Amino acid sequence: MKLVRYGAAGSERPGLIDASGQLRDLSSHIESLDAAQLTHAALEALRAIDPETLAPVEAGVRLGVPLAGIGKIVAIGLNYSDHAAEAGLPVPQEPIVFMKATSSLSGPNDPVRIPPDARKCDWEVELGIVIGKTARHVSRETARQHIAGYVLVNDVSEREWQMERGGTWDKGKASDTFCPLGPWLVTADDIPDPQNLAMWLRVNGELKQSGNTRTMIFDCETIVSYCSRFMTLHPGDVVITGTPPGVGMGMTPPQFLAAGDTMTLGIDGLGTQTLRVEAYEHAAQEA
């Protein structure tokens, strides 16, 4: 099942994608697509709805972040050995954990804005795990019971702020628009093997990243179990699982994003994103 939120930013409505690819409105059944809809019972109720009874939505409507009220975004670094090599860093013996701010969330086709004074903005296609059941000190063997589904994520990063400014990685990961998420939340039953998903990213049409989740150092169940030892994972939390090689920082010479660039990216079964890069001063500013 592919669940979405669509409409203007701040006014999104719940929807689903039917078997033909048609977006249909779910607001006659639920008010919002949020953590309350991620329980086993709630997802079963949504699966029982005949999509033909739902009003179709016109093509071209904006898609938002496919889940409202995300509580936290937990991220795993250097989770592909070849990406660690291109970054010049050792393969981690345990998952590297950092956080992305929820204020960095944006829709799957919304602009990515380069912050003032940023010089080394980079791309990272990643698989995201959506938590559906509270996970606290769970075993790897039971971890999948706590996963509601999966999403496509671009872990946009400012490498100077991440690597050269001291402290943790978080400040290079947390800027507004640095976490495009979606287009869909795909429920776990539709992704029987999350460790065999092809993934790719292009910048201005040029292929930069091409990989597969089977080369992750720590798989999804291990990541959920590991993170649950250090923090409680609540329904609606998102855990992003690392990126394959091909990021701009690892190229010779390094390549970074500039205003006017376009990123396109995708993961098998999870849809695609198209992201125009803008300079911050060209973006609409909040009062």
Is residue 8 one of the residues assigned to a domain? no
Distance, in Å, from the CA atom of 151 to the CA atom of 233, rounded to the nearest integer, reads 17
Q: Could you read off the pLDDT of 210-237 as tens digits, one per residue?
A: 999 999 999 999 999 999 999 999 999 9
Which of 227, 243, 209, 273 shows the shortest CA–CA distance to 79? 243
What's the order of all strands across the beta sheet hosting 262-267? 112-114, 271-279, 262-267, 198-203, 206-212
**Average of pLDDT values for 174-197?**
97
pLDDT, one tens digit per residue, over 244-264 is: 999 999 999 999 999 999 999
Which of 80-94, 103-117, 194-208, 241-255 is predicted least confidently?
80-94
Residues 219 and 149: beta-carbon distance below 8 Å: no
User: Which of 18-32, 157-171, 195-209, 233-247 shows the lowest per-residue confidence on average (mean pLDDT)?
Assistant: 157-171
Instruction: Specify if 142 maps to a domain.
Output: yes
Average pLDDT, the chain: 95
Domain assignment of residue 31, yes or no = no
Res. 47: pLDDT tops 80? yes
Which pair of tokens denotes residue 273?
A: 């994103």
Q: Has residue 43 been placed in a domain?
A: no
User: pLDDT confidence of 84, banded at 50, 70, 90?
Assistant: confident
- Give domain status of residue 233, yes or no: yes
Contact 67, 231 (CB under 8 A): no
> What's the pLDDT tens digit per position in 5-18?
999 999 999 999 99
Q: Is the pTM of this model over 0.75?
A: yes
pLDDT at 168: 87
Q: Is the pLDDT assigned to residue 59 strictly greater than 60?
A: yes
Q: How many Å apart are CA 168 and CA 117, to the nearest integer?
A: 19
> What CATH number corresponds to the domain at position 237?
3.90.850.10
pLDDT band at 88 (very low <50, low <70, confident <90, very high): confident
Please tell me the predicted confidence (pLDDT) of residue 283.
45
On whether residue 44 sits in a domain, the answer given is no
Residue 89 — pLDDT band, cuts 50, 70, 90? confident
Give residue 262's domain range.
Answer: 68-280
Share of the chain above pLDDT 70, in %: 98
- Burial of 68-107, coded b for 16+ CB within 10 Å and e otherwise, reads bebebbbbbbbbbeebbebbeeeebeebbbbbbbbebbbb
User: What is the dihedral sign for C-alpha 279, 282, 284, 286?
Assistant: positive
Mean pLDDT across 54-73: 97
Q: How many domains does the chain have?
A: 1
Domain for residue 147, yes or no? yes
Indicate whether 28 pLDDT > 50.
yes
Q: Which residues contact 93 (CB under 8 A, 6 or more apart)?
A: none
Q: Name the more confident of 187 and 166.
A: 187
